[in-house]
Amino acid sequence: MTKPAGCRPNTALLAVLADQGLTQDELAAMVNQAIEVLFAASGNCTDTQVRRWTAGAVAWPHPRYLLALEHSLGVSALDLGFVPRGACSLERLTEARRAIQLSGHLLQECDPVLRREFLGAAAGTALIGVSAGSALHGRIGMSQISMLHADLAELHALDGKFGGGDLVKIAEGRYRKIREALASCTYGEQVGRALYSAAGEFATSTGWFAFDSGDEANAERHYDRALRLALLAGDTILQAHVLIAMAIQSLHAGRPAECVTVARTALGQKAARANPVIAALFHAREGLGLSHGGQSRQAARSFEQAQRALDRHVDPATVPVWLTFFDHGELTGLVAQSRLALGDYDAAERAVGDTLAAIDDRWGRNRFMHTVTKARAQLGRRSVEEACATAAGALHSVSSLRSQRGVGALHDFRGKVARHSAVPAARDFLENSAHLFTARSMT
């Protein structure tokens, strides 16, 4: 839509360009590149088109341009200062965004480079701003809170499939927007508490995505922020979310006793007492911490308690979005990790085999990690050929995975395989996987 004479410059877009140090020519080139990635078509954006956007002469560009701008700049269309012409404009943008995300399922058998490009596009199209409710200004109501929850669910869906590496900045940006809204907008007491909770959820999610991408210091900073916000909101579910993330990070950092302490603290709190799925997850994390501490019998008891809790009927509506991955199959996968830590390789392999048979395709990152667990168990019982064959099944996912934690697990396995380089299957695996890790180190 072209505005009449006297239109106002798009100060939001100008500010983003200044902040990112981009010229109008550079933005045009980025938009054309994004169009090629998102739509497999040639872009024809020029600096003249960009000037029309920055001058405010075009208030709401075509959805193709809007999605390319979001992908290129990492900022939503609404936060870039574009003004929709009505609900239909937003609906068309949302439909285009969903179509791009859906197309990702068709890329799984394609070239790894194409999958990697799509992942970047998927993260870009998950940006906050999928509807008018995502813009936080003026007086805020519960409809905007609902949109924040939808945005969070969208990010966690991408995290579950690909990992969190490309989602850190997106989640952190929304966290900051919510904090700004808390200081500058008007809202009632109920909405205020919900805003504190939403800010805490995005802080926790930012921390989780950062942890998954290997930035543990950033993860800890966001977990600290989220705990304060959980207290301000009186949100026990949010507290549980932060504590489970902290427990996982403690174990990953080689502090199993701390993992056990965090899990036991959470089990004594309201959220775990009220929600058996939350209780089951903390019992399982307690069991993992005990396993890494060599306490086999105590770990087994923890996993029995986790199983009993998960067997209780739970209304799916009461399961928070960050917990939707956790079911009996995932619990069995944690049991496998426990047995692996204790050196019971046969039991570990049996358990993780059950998990891989049950896991949903939505959880691509976890499937990858469970596959590595199976390969490690097979290697532990000296079946080098089987272990390499299993791990080879995960290699095709490396280029599209955005989880340093997951890729690091395969890299560690590769180091263990190197000790068996006299075995032909080991040499083949090392050779076939070398270029993937070299390629990742260069990107």
Instruction: For residues 416-440, give the mean pLDDT.
Output: 86
According to DSSP, residue 130 is labeled S
In contact, 262 and 226? CB cutoff 8 Å: no
The per-residue pLDDT for 443 is: 42
The angle subtended at Cα 404 by Cα 401 and Cα 406, nearest 5°, is: 70
Q: Which residue did the predictor score with more confidence, 151 or 377? A: 377
Residue 125 has pLDDT above 80, yes or no: no
Domain annotation covers residue 87: yes
352 falls within a domain: no
Please tell me the total count of domains within the chain: 1
Write phi, then psi, for 186 (nearest 5 degrees): -110, 150
pLDDT of 105 > 60? The answer is no
| Domain interval for residue 46 | 1-131
Instruction: Tell me the mean pLDDT in the region 230-247.
Output: 96
Model confidence at 407: pLDDT above 60: yes
Q: Is 143 part of any domain?
A: no
- 412 compared with 74, residue with greater pLDDT: 412
The SS3 of residue 194 is helix
Q: Is the pLDDT of residue 297 over 90?
A: yes
Question: Do the domain assignments include residue 214?
Answer: no
Please indicate, yes or no, whether the overall pTM of this predicted structure exceeds 0.95: no
Q: Which token pair is 365?
A: 């990152």
Q: Note the pLDDT of residue 135.
A: 62
Give the residue carrying structure tokens 């086999």: 296
pLDDT, mean over the chain: 86
pLDDT over 90, % of the chain:
60
Model confidence at 112: pLDDT above 70: no
Whole-number pLDDT of residue 100:
66
SS3 call for 186: strand
> Is pLDDT above 90 for 42?
no
State the residue for tokens 């992942």. Answer: 119
The mean-pLDDT minimum among 129-133, 134-138, 172-176, 235-239 falls in: 129-133
pLDDT band at 109 (very low <50, low <70, confident <90, very high): very low
- The pLDDT assigned to 129 comes to 37
pLDDT band at 187 (very low <50, low <70, confident <90, very high): very high
Q: Is the pLDDT reported for residue 117 higher than 50?
A: no
Q: For the residues 401-426, what does the mean pLDDT come to?
A: 93
In a domain, 41, yes or no: yes
pLDDT band at 33; cut points 50, 70, 90:
confident
Which pLDDT tens digit goes with each residue over 59-88? Answer: 899 888 998 898 888 778 888 988 887 667
Q: Per mean pLDDT, which range of 150-154, 188-192, 383-387, 416-420 is the poorest?
A: 150-154
Dump pLDDT digits (tens) for 12-24. Answer: 899 889 888 889 9
Structure confidence at residue 294 (pLDDT): 96
In the prediction, which pLDDT does 103 show? Answer: 52
What integer pLDDT is reported at residue 53 of this predicted model? 94
Least confident of 7-21, 188-202, 317-331: 7-21
> Residue 25 CB: number of other CB atoms within 10 A?
11
Mean pLDDT lowest among 175-189, 257-271, 393-407: 393-407
Does any domain span residue 15? Answer: yes
Q: Would 30 be classed as within a structural domain?
A: yes
Higher pLDDT, 70 or 345: 345
Taking residues 78-105, report their average pLDDT: 71
112-125 and 142-162 are packed helices; what angle lies between their axes, rounded to 10 degrees?
A: 170
Dist. CA 408–CA 214, nearest whole Å: 9
Answer whether residue 393 is part of any domain: no
Comparing 23-37, 90-104, 415-429, which segment has the lowest mean pLDDT?
A: 90-104
